[in-house]
Structures are given as structure tokens and as C-alpha cells.
Structure 1
Amino acid sequence: MAFQNIQRFQNQDLIRVGNDDNYLLLAPHYGGRLVRWVRHGEEILYWPEAADWSRPAKIRGGNPLLFPFIGRHFADGEAGRWRDANGTTHTLPQHGFARDLPFTVVAADDDKIVMALESSDSTRAGYPYAFRFEASYVMLEDGVEVALRSENTGSDRLPYYAGHHFYFSLPAAHRPDTRLLLPEAVRLRQEPDGRLTHAIQGEPAYALDDDRLQDTFHALRGGGSVTLAMPGRTLAIDLDVPGCVAWHAVTTWTESKDADFYCVEPWLGLPDAIHHGHGLRWLEPGEQETAVCRVRVVA
């Protein structure tokens, strides 16, 4: 299938969706990665100037897609391993394999793109299930709607918990003046051996230089929106979309105190959910479901 909206960026041919005032650049062959979101000339997402495209999963930027599992999983104390219901242990990298593999473009036009990843020999090695995982981006007047659709195309019950890894552009010096507003949630982290810490009641608002946010999971106790109020720009991440799967948590993380980005990540489950069950989802043969979030520029 040929597409007309191709734009060259960092020596890569990316697909462009949107218009001159509000557009996305995506790299389907590099994990279906959303690379840039430009609105009124401003970069909403962070992307490094010298990105190493030979190792796309290691690039800090855009929106990597996380599937079939999020975060780190452990079997017998060893990271990157997980045990299925039959007691068989499998090897699967942190955050799964979707961000490492090429997606097929199903459809693309001026306002929308749909990309798909299907099971193959390379996925069955660490995840012995038949699946179809689709990611779609739809331009809105004030932002972007993103849908993750997971389908069990096999004959066995399929476990999964997918999610996003949005790198929002934010100069490190602005963190003390930026506020993160959350719906009701409890805070957790993951211990070095994979265990979850005790849940602590969360707060409705945090400054982004608050150390309690670093590598923290905010397990939601209801629906609502997340607001990231930065100097000069406010984003709303809407997690309540009727008829769609409920998001289990929002994760907050950044690489260092001087990194010019901050990650706010809607997740369907918590790390190692395949073993402890917090957010673990199951699809019966032939079943499918979709999780949707909207990221809007509200001010």
C-alpha cells in the first residue's frame, strides 16, 4: 500500500498524519513508534536530536508501545523471565517486544493511522500465543486519540497488559513549576526482586520535582483525567472513554534530574502482573478489546 504523506526526518521516511498546525510523525517499522507531535509549531513530545535509529527501543522519546507485558517480570528472582499457568518459564524483555518489531500500516489518511503487529516466530519464542495488536492515532481538534486494540487469534486463553510510554517535552528547570493532577489513586513501586511495595494513598496534586513520583505507579481507584500543568502549556490525558477497557494505572518516570522530558504513562496493568495479577487481563479465543486515551492541549 502506498502512502502520500511521507516526511523525511533524521534520515528516516516517516508517515505524517494531521495538518500544518497539528500533526504527528510515526515510524511503523520501528515498533509503531510515535516520534513527534507538533502543535502550532511546538513539540509536545520529546525526541533527541541525535537518536540512534539502529537501536530504536533504546531511544528516549516519542511514545513507545508496550505489549504484551509492561515493565519488569521475574521468575525465580531473574528479571526478563515469566512463568505460565502450566509452570513453563519463558524469556521476554522488559516492556515486551512490540517496541522492537515492525508494524504493518493497515490504513492511513490525513487524520488517522492504524498500525498492526501480529504473532510470528519471533514473538512466539517468549510469548506462545496467537494475537493481533493494533494501535491507532486519530487527530482531534485539540489533541490526539490513541486506541490500543488487542485480539486473541488463537485457541488458547491469552494473558496481556499493554500500555503507553509518553515522553512529554519539558525542560528540567520547569519541573518545580509543573503540577501533575491525578484522580483518586494509591502509589506503589517495584522492589528489585519484582515484588510490589505496600500501597500508599495518593494525593490529588504533585509538583514534578517531588521524588515520590520517580518510577512510581499510581493505581487508579476510579476514572477521570490526568492533568499535566506546565509553564506555558497544560495537557489533559482523558482515561474515561465509554465502552473501552479501563486503565489500571498511570506511571510517572524520568531518566534523570536534568532530562528535558517527563513520562506520564497510562498502563493496563502493573509490572509482573502475570504473576501477582494486578491489572492482568485475559482474552478468550476470538475475543478482543480496546483501551483508549485522549491527550488534549487544554491551555
Structure 2
Amino acid sequence: MTTIISNSELAATINHKGAELISLKRIASDTEYIWEGNPKYWGKHSPILFPIVGTLKNNSFTYKSGTYELTRHGFARDMNFDLISHDNNEVVFSLSSDELTFDKFPFEFELRVIYTLLNSELNIKYQVINKGSDIMPFSIGGHPAFSLPKKFEDYSLQFETEESLTCYQLENDLLSEKTKKIDLLKNNLPLTYPLFENDALIFKELESKQIQILESSIPILNFKFNHFPNFGLWTKSNAPFICLEPWVGYSDVLNATGNILEKEGIQILENNSSKEFNFSIEIL
């Protein structure tokens, strides 16, 4: 099942499974900005990563006296969300803990996802609510894939600030201590497939909080992520898309203890409290 919100400029389609954004179109030109999900390359569009981002060591974590198995990026992307409210330009989805989630993640929670259109911008808000009497560790992230219909090398990323990017490399899907520097040229990173030969580019921190996608040196999309300290860039070989991934958290490091409370980058939410995280996609 899907739900559509629209205004005079944009139309967004969200799948109730995973509360996943599967289409964002400019109405006047019928231009699609979200990756189509062709399984030849990657069968998803914009999954929500919760309650972890990335991979846990041994795909498991410990909490108090228990051990829990949790696969890469968590379970939210594969679960059906409830539709809470819907009007022309906003829709609210909710996922709540149940017996199935307790087996993997022993915490009472509600995850609300709010999509709001305002002029030529789509805002995505994650609201994480701890409904239990104990603290709740968690991570959360977005994984939107943007369609690149022209030659991949015709595109580049324009960062908000001039900075030298420190990329942490993966080893068996875990974060190693190996890093590489990526120097921007006037804030610009040209896209090439060899950039991603070792999988995703993972940044524990960025000075920039906005990144533009440029097509033939012309900005087509502005991506804003003020509430997210970590970030990932990803594509697959010869795939016509780029993922801009705002994260709160990332994969386990190689020497992780497995204790979820000691996990690098983890968020701790007090009982009966909530946190909100926003990012937005502005069509230029």
C-alpha cells in the first residue's frame, strides 16, 4: 500500500512497508528524483535504518544478561508502518514495538516518520520515542537513493564548506581504523565509480550540513541534514544512482565489545522521552 502527498510543485509517494519514500517528482516536468529500485543494481529506494545503522559485530549485541541478533541496518525497513494521519501535503507513519521486535531489540519504542511538502522541498522527520521504564540505546539513519539518468561522471557533489573529508574504510562490513583523505576542489567532489570500489564512503563527521547534487555543473537538488552527525555516500558499480545517507550512528568498529551501551556512536534515550531528527530534499 502507498500514500501520495502533493502540492503545486512536487508529489511524493511513500510505501507503508518501511515508511519508505519511493518517488519524488517535479509535477511540471514529471521528473523523477528517487531511484526506481531496479533489483539488477539495488532493489530499494530510501529505506529507514533503525534501530541500528550498519552492521553489528557477529550481527548481535548484548544488553544486561541477554544476547540479541540484529541484522544489518535493523528491522524497520522491512516492517509495515501504521498510517496515523494524512492530508494533501503531510503524512505521518508509526511503528511500535511488539513481540516480534522484542526478540531482536528488548525495548518499548515508537518510531514516527513524518513527510511534509513545502513548496519545492520535502522534509523528513524521524521521531524516536522511548515508551519503556529503562533507557533505550538506538541509532537511526536515512538511505535515500537519487536517480542519475545521465552518465555517472556528469554528476558531482557540492559540499557546503571547503573541507578535507576523512573516510573510514570497512573491513568485513565493520569500521576499521584505516582512513583515506578526500580533498574537495572548491567544495566539489566529482562522482566516479572507483570512489566506491571499497563500498560506501563513511564519515564520522562533516563540517558541511548541506550537499548539492550537480548535473553537468548545474545544481539540481539540495540535501540538508542539520541533525545528523554522521554521513555515508554509496552506489554500486555501474548503477545510475547515488545515495546520500544522514546517520546517527554507524557500523560496529572491529574491536567492539558487543555491549550495546558501549557501541561507538550510539544514542541513549531516557525513559518516557523522545528525540527528533530532520533532513530535507529541496528540488532546485
Q: Taking structure 2 as the reference length, what is the TM-score of the superposition? A: 0.86
- Which residue in 2 is equivalent to 1:23? 11
CA contact (8 A) 1:227 1:237 kept: yes
Q: Name the CA distance, whole Å, in 1 between partners of 2:31 and 2:175.
A: 40
Q: Bigger shift: 95-104 or 179-188?
A: 179-188
- Confirm whether residue 38 of structure 1 aligns to residue 18 of structure 2: no
- Which residue in 2 is equivalent to 1:262? 242
Q: Cα distance, 1:220 vs. partner?
A: 2.1
Cα distance, 1:195–1:59 mapped onto 2, change above 3 Å: closer
Other structure's SS at 2:13 match: strand
Per-residue displacement from partner, 1:51-106 (whole Å, max 9, x unpaired)? 79xxxxx96232111100011111xxx2x22223x253210111100011110111
Other structure's SS at 1:196 match: strand
Q: Name the CA distance, whole Å, in 1 between partners of 2:43 and 2:243.
A: 10
Q: Cα distance, 1:47 vs. partner?
A: 1.4
- Confirm whether residue 136 of structure 1 aligns to residue 145 of structure 2: no
Query: Which residue identity does 1:103 align to in structure 2?
Result: F
Q: Name the CA distance, whole Å, in 2 between partners of 1:152 and 1:222.
A: 30
Q: Cα distance, 1:233 vs. partner?
A: 5.2
Q: Name the CA distance, whole Å, in 2 between partners of 1:269 and 1:227.
A: 23
Q: Name the CA distance, whole Å, in 2 between partners of 1:43 and 1:151.
A: 33
Q: Name the CA distance, whole Å, in 1 between partners of 2:75 and 2:95.
A: 10
User: Residue 153 of structure 2 is aligned with which of 161, 172, 176?
Assistant: 176
- Which residue in 2 is equivalent to 1:284? 270
Query: Which residue identity does 2:43 align to in structure 1?
Result: R
Q: Name the CA distance, whole Å, in 2 between partners of 1:92 and 1:215.
A: 20
- Confirm whether residue 197 of structure 1 aligns to residue 177 of structure 2: yes
- Confirm whether residue 158 of structure 1 aligns to residue 174 of structure 2: no
Q: Name the CA distance, whole Å, in 1 between partners of 2:214 and 2:78.
A: 32
- Confirm whether residue 249 of structure 1 aligns to residue 230 of structure 2: yes
Structure 2: stretches of 5+ with no match in the other structure: 254-259
Q: Percent of aligned positions with the same letter in both sequences?
A: 23
User: Residue 126 of structure 1 is aligned with which of 104, 112, 122?
Assistant: 104
Q: Name the CA distance, whole Å, in 2 between partners of 1:168 and 1:221.
A: 20
The two structures, once aligned, show a CA RMSD in angstroms of: 2.4
Q: Bigger shift: 195-204 or 14-23?
A: 195-204
Other structure's SS at 2:236 match: coil
- Confirm whether residue 219 of structure 1 aligns to residue 219 of structure 2: no
- Which residue in 2 is equivalent to 1:68? 51
Other structure's SS at 2:195 match: helix
Q: How many residues align?
A: 267
- Which residue in 2 is equivalent to 1:97? 75
CA contact (8 A) 2:7 2:117 kept: no
- Confirm whether residue 148 of structure 1 aligns to residue 148 of structure 2: no
- Which residue in 2 is equivalent to 1:47? 36
- Which residue in 2 is equivalent to 1:272? 252
Q: Bigger shift: 32-41 or 270-279?
A: 270-279
Query: Which residue identity does 1:81 align to in structure 2?
Result: S
CA contact (8 A) 1:158 1:282 kept: yes
Query: Which residue identity does 2:61 align to in structure 1?
Result: W
Q: Name the CA distance, whole Å, in 1 between partners of 2:283 and 2:233.
A: 19
Other structure's SS at 1:197 match: strand
Cα distance, 1:265–1:59 mapped onto 2, change above 3 Å: same
Query: Which residue identity does 1:31 align to in structure 2?
Result: G
User: Residue 91 of structure 2 is aligned with which of 113, 116, 121?
Assistant: 113
Q: Name the CA distance, whole Å, in 2 between partners of 1:65 and 1:98.
A: 7
Structure 1: stretches of 5+ with no match in the other structure: 1-12, 53-57, 241-245
Q: Cα distance, 1:116 vs. partner?
A: 0.6
The structure, 1 or 2, with the larger RCO (C-alpha pairs under 8 Å, 6+ apart) is 2
- Which residue in 2 is equivalent to 1:8? none
Q: Taking structure 1 as the reference length, what is the TM-score of the superposition? A: 0.82
Cα distance, 1:195–1:251 mapped onto 2, change above 3 Å: closer
CA contact (8 A) 2:82 2:95 kept: yes
Query: Which residue identity does 2:36 align to in structure 1?
Result: W
